[in-house]
Amino acid sequence: MSLKHAILGFLNISPLSGYDLWKMFNSTVNNYWTATNTQIYRTLSELAEENMVWYEVIQQEGVPNKKLYHLTQEGKEELISWLRTPLELPSIRHKLLVQISFSNLLEDEEIIAILETYMKNIKEKLNSYKHGNQEEYLSFASSERERFLWKMVLKNGIGFYEFELKWLKESIEEFKKMEKIKT
């Protein structure tokens, strides 16, 4: 499970509550893994049982109390050993490609509408990426080396969406060209 290790990784940088972690997993810049609050709270309980993390309850006024989670030595060792394990290529799950594969059943306009809607979504995502709080996020890096690594991750995110955008643009153009020839 990568969620476990992602949580251990965040806690290694600083102690956090479940709520903090949830915000992290939902911020644009940490966009390599997503998780719902349900999943995070459950996983934190599991990690606590396995002695990978421990928590202190922070009394707060006005806002609810919170559990601040810390990494244990065991957790840190588990994290490092996972970081060292080489990864297989992940299996791809791309719903849009499934739709396109079988969309010969649809009319031209319908196909174009699907592609354009998707393109709009990607453009928005790219925008929130580029005009988001990248610099702020990078400023939390503890060293030039860490900063470099985080930048590398950001570049992958942006690059991926740019690739998708380019592919969509070209595909739509070609599709429209084909349409014209036909008529």
Partner DNA sequence: GGACCCATGTAAATAGTTACATGATTGC
Partner DNA sequence: GCAATCATGTAACTATTTACATGGGTCC
Binding site for a copy of itself (CB under 8 A): 2, 5-6, 9, 12-13, 30-34, 79-80, 82-84, 86-106, 110-111, 113-114, 117-118, 121-122, 125, 142-146, 148-150, 152-153, 155-157, 159-160, 163-164, 167, 171, 174-175, 178
Q: Measured from the CB of residue 178, what is the shortest distance to DNA in angstroms?
A: 32
Residue 23 binding: pick among DNA, a copy of itself, none (C-beta 5-8 Å cut-off by kind): DNA
**Residue 78 in contact with residue 11, Cβ under 8 Å?**
no
Q: Measured from the CB of residue 154, what is the shortest distance to DNA in angstroms?
A: 21
**Spatial distance between the Cα atoms of 116 and 135, rounded to a whole number of angstroms:** 31
Judged by CB under 7 A, does residue 1 bind DNA?
Answer: yes
User: How distant is the alpha carbon of residue 102 from its chain centre?
Assistant: 28
**Residue 128 in contact with residue 154, Cβ under 8 Å?**
no
Buried b (16+ CB within 10 A) or exposed e, 58-74: eeeeeeeebbbbebbee
Report the residue count for the chain. Answer: 183
Q: Please list every residue from 71 through 130 that binds DNA, using CB under 7 A.
A: 91, 93
Residue 148 binding: pick among DNA, a copy of itself, none (C-beta 5-8 Å cut-off by kind): a copy of itself
Size of the site for DNA (CB under 7 A): 29
DSSP code of residue 56: E
102 strand-pairing partners: none
Angle of helix 73-83 versus helix 2-13 axis, rounded to 10: 120
- Which residues sit at the interface with DNA, rule CB under 7 A? 1-4, 17-20, 22-23, 34-39, 41-42, 44-45, 60, 62-67, 91, 93
